[in-house]
Amino acid sequence: MLNYIWFGMMAIGVAAGIYNDKIDAVTNAAIDMAKVSVEISIGLIGIMALWLGIMKIAEASGLIKIIAKGLRPITIRLFPDVPEDHPAIGSIVLNMSANILGLGNAATPLGLKAMEELQELNDQKDTATNSMVMFLAINTSSVQLILPATVVALMGATASEIFVTTILATLSSTIAAIAIVKFLEKRKRFAIVPDEEEQENHHG
């Protein structure tokens, strides 16, 4: 799926760029974004290091396990294939809490830590597991209690008027995300394909 979307965005970009006489802008965007990607990644190093360090302390002190156990009734439904006392649950819960509280800087490192721990449970390292997709979908639909600082900066006091609507909209999209993931993960076309079969498809 991502193969087609990725290629499609570039192909449409070039075609529309020629049609709209913006082909120079398309070329520049490609080169600029390649640079920006590296800047973003490098910029993450410090924050990542900080939160991963703190997380290691939380793990060593047993805090993660306590949190994971407490929220197990909820997480077992969302991530049934993750064992009860696996550290992934702790990281997932912390990442979600950070998202809910609008702590974007902390959420990403915690989320990546969770991904790393989910990967330990993955038999096929290049393919997403059901839990990974569920985790990602909940993340992108972003349950958030605190309005983004950018929105508050843009709208001033008026921002409080969209507080309730934002929570309701984000709640709807999160419920939709959970439902659609649960539905799609059972579809045949999204099934996990064993490595050998996939390779045959590629050669054939």
Judged by CB under 8 A, the chain residues 42 through 81 that form the site for other proteins are 42, 44-50, 52-63
Q: Could you tell me if 162 and 134 are in contact, meaning their C-beta atoms sit under 8 angstroms apart?
A: no
CB of 16 to other proteins, least distance (A): 4
Give the integer Cα–Cα distance in Å for 58 and 72: 18
Those residues whose C-beta lies under 8 Å from the C-beta of residue 76, and which sit 6 or more positions away, are 84
Q: Give the containing element (helix H, strand E) for 48.
A: helix 23-60
- Residue of 17, 69, 72, 121 that binds other proteins (CB under 8 A): 17
Residue 192 contacts other proteins per CB under 8 A: yes
- Residue of 187, 188, 202, 203 that binds other proteins (CB under 8 A): 187
- Residue of 70, 77, 81, 168 that binds other proteins (CB under 8 A): 168
CB of 136 to other proteins, least distance (A): 5
Binding to other proteins in span 138-167, by CB under 8 A: 139-142, 144-148, 150-152, 154-167
Q: Could you tell me if 155 and 111 are in contact, meaning their C-beta atoms sit under 8 angstroms apart?
A: no
CB of 182 to other proteins, least distance (A): 9
Binding to other proteins in span 98-117, by CB under 8 A: 101-103, 105-106, 108-109, 111-112, 115-116
Nearer to other proteins, 75 or 166 (CB): 166
Nearest one of 82, 141, 142 to 114, comparing CA atoms: 82
CB neighbour burial string for 110-142, b if at least 16 within 10 angstroms, e if fewer: bbbbbbebbeeebeeeeebbbbbebbebbbebb
